[in-house]
Amino acid sequence: MRRSSPLLALACVVALAGCGGSPGVDAPDGSASAAAASASSAATASSWSGTGWDASAATVDIAFPRTLQADRKIEVRLDGVVTDDAVVVGAMLDSPRFMPTDQVAENVRIFDGYTTRVRVPLGAVVCDPADAATTVTLEVSVDGVVQSLTLPAPDEVLAGIAADECAMKAVQDAAPVAFGSDATRSGTDVDTTLVLTRGTAAGDVVLDSVAGSVVFDLAGIDGAVPTTLAAGSDQVVVPVRLSATRCDPHVFAESKKTFVFRVWEAVDGAAPAYVEIRPSAALQDLLQQAFDECGSSSRSE
């Protein structure tokens, strides 16, 4: 392969910041991953003389805005590069903290003076990562010629995401919890179950509390939460109710984690820790019907 020119390096660095949104993005929430939600890495490039391209002040950031968290995508951003004739046509993350994914097709033009943003999905989390650098490989088209360039990327945001996901994985390994297969809808309510199954946990597992989303409330039926999976028992089934509480279509459209719910478990006497669970396609369809019913009732009042 032909050696990448400094011009291409500059174009790729610009692409690394992504272009998939407006300059303003939602701030991450208060999780561990959000605490490091914008880490910066200076791009080591020099001016490309005679072309008007300058990468000497380029910086590369990785962010995890709320708009992308439900889909487990990061936003790779770049500032400080002068160029107006390059297009990112592909991107792929290589991090020891996540399993590799296929290259993502892109069509992100680099504009002089603007942050370029590329959205990249995360693979499955790796909770015992090797000691290796994180890189992003970009396919960049400059004047119609496409070349690959691999660039170093900051690790702080990825480390935070991995810490959150590994903590949840530890809880799910100890006692996996999921929505049950049976569900019925009555108006704006959907009754179903949470099924808590013993995994690696040896002692009691307490299903301590649950939480809904912006649109749907989640609660135990008739005081069913909290409940305990006693030592020696393999499974407990907990009746729960999901209720549509926000009926405004605008709220539904703007909600980033509409169908993501939290369950807190206390495993073997430890402090409660949460996991995120999602409904099956069939249960999600019932929830959509409950929301539609909620909206219809509101409009008729």
Which of residues 116 and 162 earns the better pLDDT score? 162
Q: Per DSSP, which regions of 95-203 are E strands? A: 104-109, 116-121, 135-142, 145-152, 177-179, 184-186, 189-197
> Mean pLDDT of all residues in the chain?
80
Q: Which CATH number fits domain 175-300: 2.60.40, 2.60.120, 3.30.70, 2.40.128?
A: 2.60.40
Q: Would you call 111 helix, strand, or coil by DSSP?
A: coil
Residues 185-189, mean pLDDT to the nearest whole number: 96
Percent of the chain with pLDDT over 90: 53
Q: Which residue has the higher pLDDT, 247 or 57?
A: 247
> pLDDT value at position 56?
55
Q: How far apart are CA 85 and CA 107, in angstroms?
A: 13
Query: Is residue 108 scored above 90 in pLDDT?
Result: no
CA 140 – CA 149 distance, rounded (Å)? 8
Place of tokens 């080591």: 44
Range ranked top by mean pLDDT from 70-79, 100-109, 259-268: 259-268
Give the largest Cα separation in the chain, rounded: 75
79-117 exposure pattern, b = at least 16 Cβ within 10 A, e = fewer = bbbbbeebbbbbbbbbbbbbeeeebbebebbbeeebbbb
DSSP structure class, residue 223:
G
For 226, list phi and psi in degrees, rounded to 5.
-80, 160
Q: 127-183 pLDDT, tens per residue?
A: 999 999 998 887 777 777 777 767 789 999 999 999 999 999 999 999 999 999 999
Q: State yes or no: pLDDT of 124 exceeds 60.
A: yes
**Amino acid identity at 174:** A
pLDDT given for residue 39 in this prediction: 46
How far is the C-alpha of 211 from the C-alpha of 222, rounded, in Å?
Answer: 16
Residues whose CB falls within 8 Å of the CB of residue 41, separated by 6 or more in sequence, listed in order: 59, 60, 61, 152, 153, 154
**Which tokens go with 166?**
């590994």
Cα 67 to Cα 16, 64, 113, 235, 266, distances in angstroms: 18, 8, 24, 35, 30
User: For residue 200, what pLDDT is reported?
Assistant: 96
Provide CATH 2.60.40 ranges for the chain. 175-300
Cα–Cα distance for residue pair 120/285, rounded to 1 Å? 28
Overall pTM surpassing 0.85 (yes/no): no
Residue 249 reports pLDDT greater than 90: no
Is the pLDDT at 45 greater than 50, yes or no?
no
Got the DSSP string for 5-33? PHHHHHHHHHHHTBBSS-S--PPP-SSHH
Range with lowest mean pLDDT among 2-11, 71-80, 115-124, 229-238: 2-11
Q: What is the pLDDT of residues 85-94, one digit of tens each?
A: 777 888 899 9
* Residues found in the chain: 301
